[in-house]
Chains A and B, each alone.
Chain A
Amino acid sequence: MQRSSSGWFIENAAKVRLIAESSQAFFLVLLSLRRAVVLSAVMLLPAMALQADDSKVRLLGSSNNAKQLTTETIREIFFMRLSTWPDGTPIHVFVLPDNHPLHIRFAKEILGVYPFQLRSAWDRLVFSGTGVSPTTVESEEEMRARIESTPGSIGYTDTISGDH
């Protein structure tokens, strides 16, 4: 049984159209489902939605040291290339784990770099003996507690939770 090539083409074009149409319909359903979920989330949890929109990453320091730093200096500090504040006291840097959403935002929004660049720089310092790594804490609560209790320390938070 042999089919002409044009016949084959028409038959398959029809199949392709069918697949395209049905997948389009599927995506439309998905999209409306997503809208419904988002809407209900917004209605049910207005406070949380507001927080997600307004939260801003900012530096958190144990003293006035962390205020009025230039972006370059902040970057040097978090890349662990500066060991002391201008007054000679040691800097102690706290960070969240590499895959923590706040760490990712801090790296991108405040430092203008990607988390993998920070990790790579810290590994190089540690394993060549030319520097130390920052202290990793597991949560934002731990970050705030450690910074409060450690003189000369610096870390980050997002504005709303930081104001509690």
Chain B
Amino acid sequence: MRSVNFDVIFGKAAPMILCSLLTLLMPTGVAALEWLDGKVQVHGFAGQGATYTDHNQVFGSSHDVSLDFREMGLTTSVKPLPNLLISAQGLYRDAGGSDTQGVRLDFAQADYSHAFLDSALVIGVRGGRVKLPFGLYNDTRDVLWTRPTVLLPQSIYFDTLALRQGMLSGDGGALYGRYTHGEHRYGLEFLTFETQDNTGGVAAFWTGIPSVKTAAQGNFGGRPAFIGRTFYEWMGGRVKLLFSIVDIERDFHSSNAIYQNGNTKITFPLFSAQYNAEKWSLTAEYGWIDSQRSGYSPSLQNFPTWKQNTSENFYMQGEYRFTPDFSAVLRYDVLHLNREDRDGREMSQMTGGMVAPHRFYARDLTAGVRWEFARNFLLAVDYHYVNGTAWLNEKDNPTLNNPGTSSHFSLFTTMLSFRF
């Protein structure tokens, strides 16, 4: 897939161009475009963010307010047959050092479904480049409108780590079924896909070696990855319970003398629960990433947590809707890279003190507001008070591992978004 860096084309003017485009569109109140009785639909969104941190950096040089955070997408859906849906989304995203991929094909898929048992049961199949169904937010996390805050809970939905690109979509196929019985709905999705090993920093995560770039040093192979997600819903979504699991195994074939062949196994189970009342919603997700690695380099064999590690990832979130257009959110989000070493002390000792303990955890208290100030225009602002730097990325923070780096930081992030 070819990437285009829009910054090269528009330079620093990109945020201004986007903002003026948003302002121009404002009075028109554009709705989704439709043709042929809704058989063809075009939707889109465009958001410009601003980020400020007092210590450390998120999405560019946020000490001085970074505008290096943009997301734009154009989605087309076509229904050539009543049960057949073909859809594709082109996405342009830019987020400091953590996402410089520019334009990408987010998904391009065909979906065929059929209803049985008086429409109570629907079974379907989907294939192509598909979004990865994981947890409550992964499927549509690039669209501010479907996120509760500008920055999702980073313990589960990594945004600053380059691994994120590999979590969004993959080439593969899915089978799904949904069954409705009275006030109860059940569903199951099963997806098998090829991981995007050369996207973002995925290779670094597979190998556990931050500096690795696979294209020059070898390639990954092995069986396709699996994702399963099952849900239960009561009263049209008043209560939602989900369980998702990702299972990945990659074999590394080295093409140079620095690295040996290697193998990585990753399992990520995630439990999700949500209660939706008229004025408020409560949400929680809890999961852990289990990783096992072998090979790659003899020097790494001395690090027990490189070979086998289990993390702990969870958050609790409350939302309150003052009016349909204005809501507030409060959340506590926790990431422990090793669940047996929550304060990171042992992990730090393992590196001989070269990596500070705060690199192994992050606890984030977030308060945010969302305001749909005009139809199809949304402004979201969040404040995060973060203890720990586990989810910060080293491209935006070159001195992150230094002992002098601040373990606590405040983060303000805001985004203005338009959609149609």
Contacts and interface: CB of A to CB of B under 8 A. Distances in A.
Contact of A112 (B79, B88, B130, B235): B235
A120 interface: yes
A133 B140 contact: no
Interface string A93-128: 000011100000000000111111100110110111
B276 A92 contact: no
A126 B376 CA distance: 15
B236 A79 contact: yes
Nearest to A91: B82
B82 A113 contact: no
Nearest to A130: B111
Interface residues of B, number: 52
A127 B73 contact: yes
Contacts of B143: 123, 127
B119 A82 contact: yes
Interface in B99-128: 107, 109, 111, 113, 115, 118-120, 122, 126
A123 B146 contact: yes
A88 B182 contact: no
A79 B178 CA distance: 13
A134 B41 CA distance: 10
A82 B83 CA distance: 9
A65 to B, nearest CB: 11
A146 to B, nearest CB: 10
A89 B122 CA distance: 16
Contacts of B126: 130
A27 B235 CA distance: 40
A135 B43 CA distance: 12
A114 B38 contact: no
Given A86-B118, A115-B324, A127-B45, A76 B77 contact: no
B83 A132 contact: no
A111 B178 CA distance: 18
Contacts of B88: 129
A72 B184 CA distance: 9
Contacts of A113: 235-238
B32 interface: yes
A159 interface: no
A63 interface: no
A117 B324 contact: no
B241 to A, nearest CB: 16
Contacts of A75: 180, 236
B178 A81 contact: yes
Contact of B145 (A89, A123, A131): A123
Contacts of B38: 92, 132, 135
Nearest to B83: A83
A83 B113 contact: yes
A116 B324 contact: yes
Contacts of B278: 114
Interface in A43-79: 72-73, 75-76, 79
B140 A76 contact: no
B89 interface: yes
Nearest to A70: B118
A99 B324 contact: yes
Contacts of B87: 129-130
Contacts of A130: 85, 87, 111, 126, 131, 139
B7 interface: no
Contact of A116 (B37, B115, B122, B321): B321
A111 B183 CA distance: 11
Nearest to B73: A127
Contacts of B325: 99
B375 interface: yes
A94 to B, nearest CB: 9
12 contacts: A72-B182, A76-B180, A79-B236, A81-B122, A88-B82, A114-B276, A117-B276, A123-B140, A127-B140, A128-B131, A132-B41, A133-B43
Given A83-B79, A84-B83, A129-B111, 6 more contacts: A90-B82, A98-B324, A99-B325, A124-B140, A130-B85, A150-B37
Interface of A: 72-73, 75-76, 79, 81-84, 86, 88-92, 97-99, 111-117, 120-121, 123-124, 126-133, 135-136, 150
